[in-house]
Amino acid sequence: MTEATTAKRAQLQPPSSNVGVVGWLKTNLFSTWYNSLLTFILLGMLALTLPPVFQWAFIDSLWNSSAEACRNIEGACWSVVPHNFRFIILGFFPEGQEWRPILAMVLLLGLVIYSKERSRWKKSLAWLWLINLIVMGTLMSGGVLGMPVVETSQWSGLPLTLILSFFGMVVAYPMGIFLALGRRSKMPAIKTLCVVYIEMIRGVPLISLLFMSSIMFPLFLPEGVTIDKVLRALVAIILFTAAYIAEVVRGGLQAMPRGQYEAADSLGLNYYQTMRLIILPQALKIVIPPSVGILLSVFKDTSLVVIIALFDVLKTTMVTLSNPDWAGYSKEAYIFLALLYFVFCYAMSSYSRRLEKELHTGH
């Protein structure tokens, strides 16, 4: 009925002052006298600061020179990055074996990108991941097919950052879901266990967990038994992240209306089916934004492993800068590092936005 009436009624154009570039400027920059004043002040400040920054970064800068050449310029010495690129990215991975971590990273990122499309989320994809993980592990550790063995203590740089953050997220997320469900369980033992776990882990900083995993934990192991240091750091990151994920997921579970549980119950679905088919798909969709927030912090927090002497990409950069030749160019190196982190983080957050949009079903 509404459609019929709107079809008959003439559709007027909106007032011209509200549309187009002029309209936009008017509403956003010059709507009142003090907004106009602010606009001009900010323009002035930009005019003062932008040109020198631009001059430093692009005009007076050197992009691929020796360290000596950099001494004589005013601008940025970006050369610090290409000159030390291999060490920043791959760290102590043995010379001549660089193709192995590079291929492993390409495989990991390639499969992550391939997995973006929801239409590809099938059983075959899970197998693909499993095979990929085995191949990646083999590439990194070696020992077969004529590849020399590389100890995990030599894993460093970007591959280490990616391994710690990727596995940190992928293992911690399901674990967090189980903890969240456990915390809402009607069984007192399970509930208490989950509450104690979550609150204990959230009560301590990640650094202390990392210290515990690297210093205290080995003391409890019997003589002669060692657990790999990277693995220990990874476990600490997983345990830490899972507790945070659990609370975020619990928020999503609490946002679910009771009617959804009742409708599932009234169809005769059991607990497992209700959770898997009805509750979790909706609850996890609600908590995409805060979950991504946590995943982003995991990615960045992996740099804390420096304190237990693992060389992630931040530490390899710092090592580079401890070389007297390049010591003066930390600004440039850190800007590069910031960009590197930004690319990964931005990719994650824009993917999450896309996923949210795709999962929106108009309710």
Phi, psi at 157, each rounded to 5°: 70, -150
Nearest distance from C-beta of residue 271 to other proteins, angstroms:
8
Are 219 and 147 within 8 A, CB to CB?
no
Nearest distance from C-beta of residue 190 to other proteins, angstroms:
16
Nearest distance from C-beta of residue 261 to other proteins, angstroms:
9
Question: Per rule CB under 8 A, is residue 300 in the interface with other proteins?
Answer: no
Nearest distance from C-beta of residue 203 to other proteins, angstroms:
34
282-287: which pairs have CB atoms within 8 A and are 24 or more residues apart?
282/252, 282/256, 283/249, 283/252, 283/253, 283/255, 283/256, 284/177, 284/249, 284/252, 285/252, 285/356, 285/359, 286/251, 286/252, 286/255, 287/248, 287/249, 287/251, 287/252
Nearest distance from C-beta of residue 260 to other proteins, angstroms:
6
Phi, psi at 267, each rounded to 5°: -85, -10
Size of the site for other proteins (CB under 8 A): 22
Tokens at 340, concatenated: 């590197």
Nearest distance from C-beta of residue 185 to other proteins, angstroms:
14
Binders in 229-248 for other proteins, by CB under 8 A: none
Nearest distance from C-beta of residue 361 to other proteins, angstroms:
4
Question: Per rule CB under 8 A, is residue 359 in the interface with other proteins?
Answer: yes
Residue with smaller CB distance to other proteins, 49 or 254:
254
3-state SS of the chain: helix, strand, coil percent to 5? Answer: 75, 0, 25
Binders in 246-285 for other proteins, by CB under 8 A: 257, 259-260, 262-270, 273, 277-278, 281-282, 285
Residue with smaller CB distance to other proteins, 177 or 234:
177
Question: Per rule CB under 8 A, is residue 361 in the interface with other proteins?
Answer: yes
Residue with smaller CB distance to other proteins, 14 or 362:
362
Residue with smaller CB distance to other proteins, 15 or 362:
362
DSSP label of 74: S
Residue with smaller CB distance to other proteins, 153 or 273:
273
Rounded-to-integer distance, Cα 289 and Cα 294, Å: 9
Residue 208: partners with Cβ closer than 8 Å, 6 or more residues away = none
Nearest distance from C-beta of residue 2 to other proteins, angstroms:
12
Residue with smaller CB distance to other proteins, 137 or 281:
281
Residue with smaller CB distance to other proteins, 22 or 263:
263
b/e for 187-218, b at 16 or more Cβ within 10 A?
eeeeeeebeebbeebeeeebeebbbebbeeee
Rounded-to-integer distance, Cα 213 and Cα 333, Å: 30
Nearest distance from C-beta of residue 186 to other proteins, angstroms:
12
Residue with smaller CB distance to other proteins, 135 or 269:
269
Residue with smaller CB distance to other proteins, 103 or 359:
359
Rounded-to-integer distance, Cα 81 and Cα 69, Å: 15
Residues 120-159: x/- map of binding to other proteins (CB under 8 A)? ----------------------------------------
Rounded-to-integer distance, Cα 329 and Cα 73, Å: 12
Residue with tokens 């507790």: 243
Which stretch, 59-67, 150-158, 227-235, 354-362, contacts other proteins (CB under 8 A)?
354-362
Rounded-to-integer distance, Cα 142 and Cα 136, Å: 10
**Residue 290: other Cβ atoms inside 10 A:** 16
Question: Per rule CB under 8 A, is residue 181 in the interface with other proteins?
Answer: no
Q: What are the residues binding other proteins (CB under 8 A)?
A: 257, 259-260, 262-270, 273, 277-278, 281-282, 285, 359, 361-363
